[in-house]
Amino acid sequence: MVYDIVIIGNGVLGLSTALSLAALDPSLKIGVIGPESREGGASIAAGAMLNAFAEITSTSLKSYAGQEKFNLSLQASKKWRSWIEMINTYLEPDSQLTYQEGTFLILNSKSGILDSENFYAILKALNEYKECYEEVMPEDIPGLVPLEDCRPLRSLYLPNEGSIDSGKLIRALREIASKHHKISFINASAESFNFKGTSIISVNLDKGEVITAKDYVVAMGSYSQKLIDTIPQLSRRIPRLLSGMGCAVVVNQDPSNIVEHVIRTPNRSGACGLHVMPQGKNLYIGATNNVYTEPKTRHKMGFTHFLLECALEQINQNLHKSDVKTFHVGNRPATIDTFPLIGKTSIEGLWLLTGTYRDGFHQSPFLGEALARKILGLPHELSNVFAPERPLIRSFTKEESIEEAVRHYMSGAYERSVKLPKAGWDEVLRDLIHKRVNYIYDRLETDFGLSPDMIMMFEFSDNLEETLEYFRDYFKGDHLKRNLSVL
Ligand SMILES: Cc1cc2nc3c(=O)[nH]c(=O)nc-3n(C[C@H](O)[C@H](O)[C@H](O)COP(=O)(O)OP(=O)(O)OC[C@H]3O[C@@H](n4cnc5c(N)ncnc54)[C@H](O)[C@@H]3O)c2cc1C
């Protein structure tokens, strides 16, 4: 089969790019490759929150690259309403999508000091950018009935940061693509490329089919690394992609305390913060985040237990009566430096759109359209900061990274209700964690400052020593040679 453009990956980024391409040039013949089950995909596991400001942390805006990433989110925030309006023009009234307005950001003391730092960083950014928000009394938040010792002391309402039912959006995008545009879906997995000289001429699928196109967009989320690895000369030049495995649960709402808007904490303990959001009569509860070198597709008992405990204690204890409707497991595409991979590669006709980690769902309308414009040679708003073939971006020194990691470990411990002997023992625990993180750095033999979630990857690794050795060799490669400290 011959196409103009083939999108490899059927998550929200692949679908948004396909639809944007078709809208810009209806004559294009577009193929989207990906297994219908989307097993392990991030998009179907996300709730999804559409947050820009509420995602800010005390460190995220310190680097130029961090600012650029935030700019992507701001651009995306501006697109959501018109994107949904466009989608709804194709849908029957009873299947139309609703952008659920509003996010309550809560500050409770259930986790570590990091929560306060991130909460105040968000508040500062809201003020600096003159973004609309309101301080509200936590007891006035619909659906919030935490245990008394988990009650929030402050909360903000962000009217411009909402959510969308991710499953409904994915189904809608797919339906519009196949019914109203020249977009075909190929229920298969891409395995490798065929080359003529240095150019790609086709892609091989697991079911034996060979698909030919002029341009190929790899948007397979964390599964992209496997395909990138089939082209070693490229793989060496692209920051390694990992899997931020996340668990989420959908239960029915407590009928006496309905959650009406997203309720979330700031990002904490190497994860995206505890959050709940309404999905019709149900409630989405998310999400854990543990980084692995390969995607995972099964819930882990410990993570699910943690998530449910957090929701019962910090959101609504009456949820213990709720029926569990669905468990989700998905893998956030996370690069080792946590920044995305967007744009053209040095292989003619090969493009990448991945590495979006925690906010790829939110950024999808902007990234899909911007990449589509770039592929078609139209004016676009993508900068080159996140070009796929780039050295790792440093956003922490090694010392900052160690300090930040210790804070995230402590946050995780407090969120897990650690009880230390009184008093002065948290300094002892901090010292122990310090030693542990230093051990990781000693074994890695690098000065590259990792983000805390990447350090925690070693903690959760199924084979710590092997993973340390792999990354020790990785950092000895040429990934750091071109210094991007100007960023
Ligand atoms: C639990 C959880 C909660 C999240 N919450 C939010 C949130 O609230 N807001 C937000 O903005 N973001 C959130 N994210 C992050 C967001 O989901 C991702 O950044 C985004 O969905 C990535 O989209 P994607 O299309 O790149 O990848 P994916 O959704 O992972 O899609 C990749 C697709 O490629 C397919 N594929 C795999 N192998 C192959 C192959 N060999 N060939 C072809 N196709 C293949 C997969 O089946 C999959 O469907 C969350 C993620 C998780 C896991």
Q: Is the CB of 47 under 6 A from ligand 1?
A: yes
Q: Is the CB of 362 under 6 A from ligand 1?
A: yes
pTM over 0.85: yes
Separation of 275 CA from ligand 1 center, angstroms? 18
Confidence bin at 270 (pLDDT 50/70/90): confident
Domain that holds residue 311: 98-163+242-334
Task: Tell me, yes or no, whether 83 lies in a domain.
Answer: no
Task: Tell me, yes or no, whether 457 lies in a domain.
Answer: yes
Find where tokens 């903000």 sit. Answer: 156
Separation of 276 CA from ligand 1 center, angstroms? 19
Task: Tell me, yes or no, whether 403 lies in a domain.
Answer: yes
Q: Is there a single domain that holds both residue 424 and residue 279?
A: no
| Mutational test site, ligand 1, from 12, 33, 43, max ligand atoms within 8 Å of CB | 43
Task: Tell me, yes or no, whether 364 lies in a domain.
Answer: no
**How many other β-carbons are positioned within 10 Å of the β-carbon of residue 85?**
12
Q: Is there a single domain that holds both residue 246 and residue 328?
A: yes
Pick the last residue of a domain from 334, 354, 373. Answer: 334
pLDDT in tens, 112-154: 899 999 999 999 999 999 999 999 999 999 999 999 999 999 9
Ligand 1 atom closest to Cα of residue 356? 19
Q: Is there a single domain that holds both residue 145 and residue 256?
A: yes
Task: Tell me, yes or no, whether 199 lies in a domain.
Answer: no
pLDDT in tens, 442-482: 999 999 999 999 999 998 898 999 999 999 999 998 665 54
Separation of 220 CA from ligand 1 center, angstroms? 8
Look at residue 477 in the predicted model and tell me its pLDDT: 85
Q: Is the CB of 287 under 6 A from ligand 1?
A: yes
Q: Is the pLDDT of residue 484 over 60?
A: no
Find where tokens 């989420």 sit. Answer: 248
Q: Is there a single domain that holds both residue 150 and residue 259?
A: yes
Count of structural domains, the chain: 2
Pick the last residue of a domain from 285, 301, 334. Answer: 334
CATH of the domain at 293: 3.30.9.10
Query: What single DSSP character describes residue 389?
Result: S
Pick the last residue of a domain from 315, 334, 353. Answer: 334
Q: Is there a single domain that holds both residue 119 and residue 246?
A: yes
Q: Is there a single domain that holds both residue 320 and residue 403?
A: no
Separation of 433 CA from ligand 1 center, angstroms? 32
Identity of the residue numbered 293: T
**How many other β-carbons are positioned within 10 Å of the β-carbon of residue 36?**
11
Q: Which residue from 223, 214, 164, 194 is spatially nearest to 354, judged by alpha carbons?
A: 223
Q: Is there a single domain that holds both residue 330 and residue 254?
A: yes
Ligand 1 atom closest to Cα of residue 331? 53
3-state secondary structure of 131: coil
